[in-house]
Amino acid sequence: MNSDLAAQVRELLDVDVSEFRAQAQADAEVVKNELRDGTFDNHRSIVGLEYEFYAVADGRWRQESDDEETGAELVRVPRRLLELIRFEKELGLHNAELTTSPQPLNAEGLRAQAAGVRSHLLSALQTTRIEGMRLVSDGIWTIPPSGETARSYLTDSVEDEGVRIATNMTDAVRYHAMANGPNTPTPFAVAAPHVTLGADTVMPESLITSIQPHYQVPHASDLPTYHNYALRVAGPLLALGVNSPFFPPDLYDEGVDPETVVADARAENRIHVFESVLNSEGARKVRFPADLDTVEEAVDRVASDPTVVPMPVERGDRFDDKFATLRRKHGTFWRWVRPVFDGADRSSANARIEFRPIAAQPTVRDSIAFMATFAGLMESLPRTEHPVIGQDWDVARENFYAAAREGFASDQRWITNDGGETTDPERLYDDLFAHAVDGLRSAGCPPADAESYVAPLIVRRPAQGTRRVERHARRVETGTGTGPGRGRRVAGDGDSGDATNVRGQPDRDVARRRVLRVVVTRGRRLQERLEVLVFRDFDVLVGDDGDVDAVARRQVALDGALDGVGGDGLGLLDRQALVELLF
């Protein structure tokens, strides 16, 4: 199989780069002509979602084994199983992707999106359970396959007559070609504090998973407005969704102490992994894009983007086969907000925004909340001509990367509805959520439904999250927890136990350092225990919403436990709270 794959890679690399680029430019002119003719216009907004997962062992043999490491580790998904559950393959053998059918943005369309994801995923879970595995979702996996290290899983490769083939990568030729082209980074390295990882292939990118809401704009000529608004909401929405501050333990440098790992951890490592692995000095393919002035500029950016793999293209009778090379090139146009021009025929031709910053979320309700909130904002902000569009692009960019570094602690800057700038998170999110709900209502959602879609993100907002963390910090420090740690102080060896600030209140930083020292030192065993809990309850989380109150209560508990306060470095306090809550 490796020989066949290597032969296909060699054939692909023989494609003439200059000819490929020239054809992409010619295709760009085709698209721009169709834009002028109104081919990509729609009479309504349409939404969709790409939803990425990874597979883990379901732990069914844990009780029968003396090996405490059994269960919850990463597993490879057999290709026949992936086809059976009708998920799409992604970069790693452990990955699976669900793509929803586009639906009109209205009450029934959003219900169809949620029901489609839920029913498809439940069916897949029932099938994968037979194989002893489950599909789960969050920003970065941390437990490698049984008997392997994360480093070996991500870096193992073989060479076949000069072609490098990753051992644990799916057999898509384009993925393997990326490691063998003339313009690819060497090595593919992860840049993160206290993490050293370099590979001969793009496999380190398979550490991360995401959700990607899509929003098809009614009038293609207005796409720059939607694109530029999406850039302004990217930072605040990213701060709500960060959930991957840590890497698999064996990727950390030898000798670094857990307290340092925690202190220097970024709130959302997915952003930095994607950029550091796929960018090079000559081609910054993954980045926060500049504002757009015209829809034609969006097309030209794709056409002129540096070529990584000039793959051959077969043209057929579909409408989008008229610009097939541009579509192929678009596959490596990795911007955090990405314009797309697509359509199998003229009637389905569309211009859309793909919103790519959000890490995969632990529940379906979380993921639908992000899709609906983003869609509501795209409906409301342009229609009301919200003044945040006037925010300087440099500020929007800094918001984005600050959110990735610090989560809720990043002091997001926002221009409110009255035109004034604020860094007050309550004012920012009051304004943001109000417009998200307004957009959903204007699209036809009943008020209660609109608020329900946004509600899972509202409970993450900084004001509420901070109070929750302070409460848990006090409980940890005073030993008043409700679980097995009740009555015990959490402190490091030789610690004086003094954890008060100048006002006589528990110091959050001191409490954080102490509890995280314990949690991180326990490391893999505690993490497995928590993840098995989440995996065991996953059916409940994606199940029938008949008992809305029960689902909402569990959702809030897991929001607090897994997403914490947006990953601002205090998230493991809430993991400790989950241990107390559920054990």
Residue 549 lies in a domain: yes
160: phi then psi, degrees, rounded to nearest 5: -125, 100
Token pair 């960018």 is found at 279
Q: Output the pLDDT for position 267.
A: 95
* Cβ neighbours for 175, distance < 8 A, ≥ 6 positions apart: 91, 166, 169, 202
Q: Output the pLDDT for position 62.
A: 54
Cα angle vertex 400, ends 399, 405, to 5°? 95
Mean pLDDT of 99-125: 96
What is d(CA 149, CA 151) in angstroms, rounded to the nearest whole number?
5
Q: Which domain holds residue 413?
A: 376-458
**What pLDDT digit, counting tens, does each position of 261-306 carry?**
999 999 999 999 999 999 988 789 999 999 999 999 999 999 999 9
Whether residues 491 and 552 share a domain: the answer is yes
Residue 484 lies in a domain: yes
> Hey, what amino acid is at 578?
L
pLDDT top residue among 149 and 187: 149
pLDDT top residue among 572 and 255: 255
pLDDT top residue among 310 and 254: 254
Band (pLDDT 50/70/90 cuts) for residue 577 is: very low
User: How many structural domains comprise the chain?
Assistant: 2
On the question of pLDDT at 490 being above 50, the answer is: no
Whether residues 410 and 481 share a domain: the answer is no
Q: Output the pLDDT for position 203.
A: 97
Band (pLDDT 50/70/90 cuts) for residue 15 is: confident
**What pLDDT digit, counting tens, does each position of 198-213 carry?**
999 999 999 999 999 9
Q: Output the pLDDT for position 61.
A: 57
Q: Output the pLDDT for position 1.
A: 52
Of 424, 458, 492, the domain-final residue = 458
Of 426, 458, 490, the domain-final residue = 458
Whether residues 495 and 409 share a domain: the answer is no
pLDDT top residue among 513 and 499: 513
Q: On the CB side of 179, how many CA atoms lie within 13 Å of its CA?
A: 31
Residue 6 DSSP one-character state: H
Residue 282 lies in a domain: no
Around Cβ 48, how many Cβ atoms within 10 Å?
21
- Which of 107, 94, 90, 124 minimizes the C-alpha distance to 364? 124
Q: Output the pLDDT for position 541.
A: 37
Cβ–Cβ under 8 Å, residues 214 and 29: no
Which of 105-119, 185-199, 315-329, 548-562 is modeled with the greatest confidence?
A: 105-119
Whether residues 427 and 449 share a domain: the answer is yes
Residue 356 lies in a domain: no
Mean pLDDT of 220-242: 98
Tell me how far CA of residue 15 lies from CA of 4, 179, 415, in angstroms. Answer: 18, 16, 48
Segment among 16-20, 322-326, 440-444, 499-503 with least mean pLDDT: 499-503
How high does pLDDT run on average in the chain? 81
Q: Output the pLDDT for position 70.
A: 53
Cα angle vertex 498, ends 492, 500, to 5°? 125
Cβ–Cβ under 8 Å, residues 460 and 566: yes
The percentage of residues in the chain with a pLDDT greater than 70, rounded to a whole number, is 76
Cβ–Cβ under 8 Å, residues 202 and 175: yes
Q: Which two tokens stand for residue 82?
A: 């992936």
**What pLDDT digit, counting tens, does each position of 76-91 carry?**
999 999 999 999 999 9
Whether residues 394 and 440 share a domain: the answer is yes
Whether residues 503 and 447 share a domain: the answer is no
Whether residues 474 and 431 share a domain: the answer is no
Mean pLDDT of 417-432: 94
Cβ–Cβ under 8 Å, residues 166 and 156: yes
Residue 406 lies in a domain: yes
Residue 546 lies in a domain: yes
Residue 45 lies in a domain: no
433: phi then psi, degrees, rounded to nearest 5: -70, -35
Band (pLDDT 50/70/90 cuts) for residue 10 is: confident
- Which of 333, 342, 579, 570 minimizes the C-alpha distance to 469? 570
Whether residues 419 and 474 share a domain: the answer is no
On the question of pLDDT at 494 being above 90, the answer is: no
Partnered with residue 46 across adjacent β-strands are: 104, 216
Token pair 């109070």 is found at 467
Q: Output the pLDDT for position 2.
A: 64
Whether residues 487 and 561 share a domain: the answer is yes
Partnered with residue 189 across adjacent β-strands are: 198
- Which of 278, 8, 270 minimizes the C-alpha distance to 142? 270
Whether residues 479 and 447 share a domain: the answer is no
Q: On the CB side of 494, how many CA atoms lie within 13 Å of its CA?
A: 0
Residue 430 lies in a domain: yes
On the question of pLDDT at 156 being above 90, the answer is: yes
**What pLDDT digit, counting tens, does each position of 372-409 carry?**
999 999 999 999 999 999 999 999 999 999 999 999 89
Q: Output the pLDDT for position 512.
A: 40
Q: Output the pLDDT for position 204.
A: 97
Q: Output the pLDDT for position 315.
A: 85
On the question of pLDDT at 137 being above 50, the answer is: yes
Whether residues 493 and 575 share a domain: the answer is yes
Buried-exposed string 414-444: b where 16+ CB fall within 10 A, e elsewhere: bbbeeeeeeeebeebbbbbbebbbbbbbebe
Question: Residue 127's Cα: distance from chain center in Å?
Answer: 25
On the question of pLDDT at 507 being above 60, the answer is: no
What is d(CA 216, CA 350) in angstroms, rounded to the nearest whole number?
7
> Is the four-CA dihedral 476, 480, 485, 488 of positive or negative sign?
positive
On the question of pLDDT at 141 being above 90, the answer is: yes
Whether residues 436 and 479 share a domain: the answer is no
**What pLDDT digit, counting tens, does each position of 526-576 carry?**
344 334 333 333 333 333 343 334 434 444 444 444 443 333 333 333 433
Of 410, 432, 458, the domain-final residue = 458
Mean pLDDT of 427-440: 97
User: Could you tell me the pTM of the whole model?
Assistant: 0.81
Outline where 265-363 has alpha helix (H).
Answer: 269-278, 295-304, 324-330
